[in-house]
Amino acid sequence: MFFRSTRRTDDAFLDEAMSYADALHGVARRMCRNEALAEDLVQETLLKAIKSREQFAAGTNLRSWLFRILTNVWVSRYRRASLERATFDAPDVDPIADGWVSADTMRNLREPEELAVASLLRAELERALELLPEDFRMVVLLVDAQEFSYEEAAAALSVPTGTVMSRLHRGRKMLQKVLVEQGRALGLAKAEAMADSTPPANLEAFREKKLRGTK
């Protein structure tokens, strides 16, 4: 009897864990060089989850827990050398400007009239995502594809929320830069960039404001 109920709990856990396999794979596939590595990463993640399933507090967010395991496995095993990290996590002394582009250009980038152009831009974005430094890419994927909050992403990666925000900002800036450049090449954007720069708001002030707002 006990055995049966244990078995049922285990089976339910297996089913629920498997229901996140595609989501985990989507992120893994963008983080790993090839499909085999991505599958290994997903398998290792879920095996770890199964092995420590008794530590998982029922009723809490399984998806969030699984992604935390995935990012841990990835950081400890799959992430490449840390050279690029050291470079890109340096203080934001020269923030990539929120390059000013016209509303028309942005509209053209967002919904080009021609289908061929749309698919060109999509392909360009895909390439840009691939070229993003891994730490930036992971944050962009967690927040944009998995809709993690900044705090969830920070917990998953064991970094401060401010680091999540700055990686996200810079990662997106890089994607946008590639997109705007491509838009120019395709005649969708005019050479209208201006030098004004709007770095992200002071993070402390932001947190404080947010805190005040929620009280």
Partner 1 sequence: MNAPSQECRAFLRVVESFIDGELDPAAIIEGEHHTASCASCRERVMLGRAMKASVSHLATSPMGDDARGRLRNALAAEIARTPSSPKRAPRVRMVVGSIVAASFAAAAAWLFAPRIGTPNASLAEAGNDDVLSELVAEHVRPLPLDGTDIQTVRSLEQYVGVPLRQHFPASRAKLVGARILPFQHERAAIVQYELGGTGPGAPRRISVLVFDPRRIHLAPASDIAQQLGRHEVRMTRAQGLPVAVMEDEGIGYALSGDVDEKQAMELVRYVASP
Site string for partner 1, 20-39 (x = CB under 8 A): -xx--xxx-xx--------x
Least distance to partner 1, CB of residue 3, Å: 6
12 interacts with partner 1 by CB under 8 A: no
Q: Among 34, 55, 87, 214, which residue sits at the site for partner 1 (rule: CB under 8 A)?
A: 214
Position 150 contacts partner 1 (CB under 8 A):
yes
Contact 17, 62 (CB under 8 A): yes
Question: How far apart are the two ends of the chain, measured CA to CA in Å?
Answer: 50
Q: How far is the CB of 85 from partner 1 (least distance, A)?
A: 21
> Closest CB to partner 1 among 102 and 158?
102
**Encoding tokens for residue 127?**
């390439």
The C-alpha atoms of residue 214 and residue 201 are separated, in whole angstroms, by 18
The stretch near partner 1 (CB under 8 A) out of 61-69, 79-87, 88-96, 102-110 is 102-110
Give the separation between CA 211 and CA 215, rounded to whole angstroms: 6
> Residues with Cβ < 8 Å from 143, sequence gap 6 or more?
149, 150, 153, 164, 168
Q: Which of 142, 135, 10, 168 is nearest to 68 (CA)?
A: 142
Nearest residue (CB) to partner 1, 57 versus 194:
194
131 part of the interface to partner 1, by CB under 8 A: no
Which residue stretch of 59-67, 84-92, 120-128 sits at the interface with partner 1 (rule: CB under 8 A)? 120-128
Nearest distance in Å: CB 162, partner 1? 12
CA angle 63, 153, 75 (to 5 degrees): 90
CA atoms 171, 66, 147, 188: torsion sign? positive
Which residues, numbered 41-70, are part of the site for partner 1 (CB under 8 A)?
A: 42-44, 46-47, 50-51, 53-54
Name which of 86 and 93 has its Cβ closer to partner 1. Answer: 93
Residue among 16, 80, 100, 119 that touches partner 1 (CB under 8 A) = 100
Q: Is 144 in the site for partner 1 (CB under 8 A)?
A: yes
Q: Whose CA is closest to 186, among 120, 99, 103?
A: 120
**Amino acid at the residue 79:** R
